[in-house]
Amino acid sequence: MYKTIIEPFKIKMVEPIAVTNEEQRIEFLEAAHYNPFQLDADSVMIDFLTDSGTSAMSAEQWSGIMRGDEAYAGSRSWQRMEEVVKKLTGFEFVLPTHQGRAAERIIYSALGGEGKTFISNTHFDTTRANIEFTGSEAIDIPIPEGTQPQSLHPFKGNMDVTKLRSIIEERGGESIGAVILTVTNNSGGGQPVSMSNAKDIRSICDEFDILFLLDCCRVAENAYFIREREDGYSELSYKQIAEQMFRLTDGAVMSAKKDGLVNMGGFLALKNKELAVECTNVLIITEGFSTYGGLSGRDMEAIAIGLEEVFDEKYLEYRMKSTKYLGDGLEAMGVPLLLPVGGHAVYIDAARFYPQIPAHEYPGQALACQLYLKGGIRAVEIGSVMFGKYDEQGELIPSPMELVRLAIPRRVYTQSHIEYVLEVFRDLKNEKNEISGYKITEEPRFLRHFTAHFEPLKGRV
């Protein structure tokens, strides 16, 4: 076996990267008020902001785009997407939506409302927002290991089923809107969920007659970890593993911008007819007719193909090994990480990388800025900038962890891009003691990480 992970594809079409130097990037970052979200994409060389909607489509998907059938009702492309989703999920009713959160709004407005509780391993932020918007409460119950950066538990994305039972017993089964299992657990570091955890949740939901939903954005990546780490799955294909997981649940919400390998799209799939009818009514009012949702025919064609390609064994192995390659390289040089490395991203523990920077001076923001200045790499702070709140005295209540996420777009960067990122980190590590923190000079009331302005505490960097 050779060690080099070759990309299991060759390149037919290229998109130039605007190569910049450090001097230019100092200007760009200052103009962006030291907030990488405010940078023009053209001034970024390696964009690790998100893996959502940033996948490169295949030649087959681009051909599908040309074959897309734009009929308003009953288009061929819809039939193809519906068939693929039905086969994969096993659910009878499939509703196309323009992205994941549209599916979330539809299902959670049907199930939610005052007095209802939703329980998840960790609600993704749009999931939580859509649930809370209906007046319901959203409770996260990851297993304890899930919030310890150094724990090497193989399934850190699991839900704490003991807590699940006690919350249900305390509040009563009829007040639970749904139990939502997010695979992989995006907000918990892209960590996988085991099949046995899903089975335990199924039996508790059966006992109390509660709806069990899968947030399946990264169900293929999760299947990879199950085959690698859980007993009894080594002989199954990744797709068979995903199919098994869907069949433990009553419905699924998907942002196809992740494992659908497309730039836009999603769906809601349901077992129960009554619920599906109610959701379809909302779909038609707010998204579009039931055979296209908010999507063009060509988008649905690309989703149908993407959902097949993502389970290709060679693709998925390359994908997961290349994420791990970046993680292993960083670990080998002593960069502190959230471990084990998850599926779609590598998370750096910025609090330990810059121990001299306290939380209220935002070590994660400092690292995100340094990555851009040194290497033109864009990453996202997931720490006290994103989650920090103020107490009544106006003091920062910091986030429990100060992380920086390097999310890897699918099929976009090659191993030499990753080698370059590792090289940049070597430099950052050498200079790490000289780096100081940031202060916020302007911030909005909600979701401040997107638009806040910063200033380096030690003058111009």
Ligand X SMILES: *Cc1c(COP(=O)(O)O)cnc(C)c1O
Q: Which residues bind ligand X (CB under 6 A)?
A: 52, 99-101, 124, 126-127, 182, 186, 215, 217, 255, 257-258, 266
Nearest distance from C-beta of residue 217 to ligand X, angstroms: 4
Nearest distance from C-beta of residue 420 to ligand X, angstroms: 27
Question: Is 259 or 361 the residue whose CB approaches ligand X more closely?
Answer: 259
Query: Helices (DSSP H) in 181-336: which residue ranges?
Result: 195-208, 219-229, 238-247, 273-286, 297-309, 313-332
Two tokens, residue 399: 């986030």
Using alpha carbons, list the distances in angstroms from residue 236 to 215, 220, 227, 270, 319.
22, 13, 7, 25, 19
Residue nearest to ligand X (CB): 100
Nearest distance from C-beta of residue 99 to ligand X, angstroms: 3
Nearest distance from C-beta of residue 1 to ligand X, angstroms: 33
Nearest distance from C-beta of residue 100 to ligand X, angstroms: 2
Question: Is 58 or 127 the residue whose CB approaches ligand X more closely?
Answer: 127
Using alpha carbons, list the distances in angstroms from residue 128 to 10, 108, 210, 353.
39, 10, 19, 30
Question: Is 126 or 151 the residue whose CB approaches ligand X more closely?
Answer: 126
Rg (CA), the chain: 22
Q: How far is CA 134 from the centre of its chain?
A: 23
Exposed, middle or buried by CB within 10 Å (0-12, 13-18, 19+), for 42? exposed
Question: Is 100 or 112 the residue whose CB approaches ligand X more closely?
Answer: 100
Question: Is 48 or 362 the residue whose CB approaches ligand X more closely?
Answer: 48
Contact 456, 438 (CB under 8 A): yes
Question: Is 100 or 189 the residue whose CB approaches ligand X more closely?
Answer: 100
- For residue 364, give the H/E element and its range: helix 363-375
Quick check: helix, strand or coil at residue 337? strand
Nearest distance from C-beta of residue 129 to ligand X, angstroms: 10
Pairing of strands 396-397, 403-407: unpaired
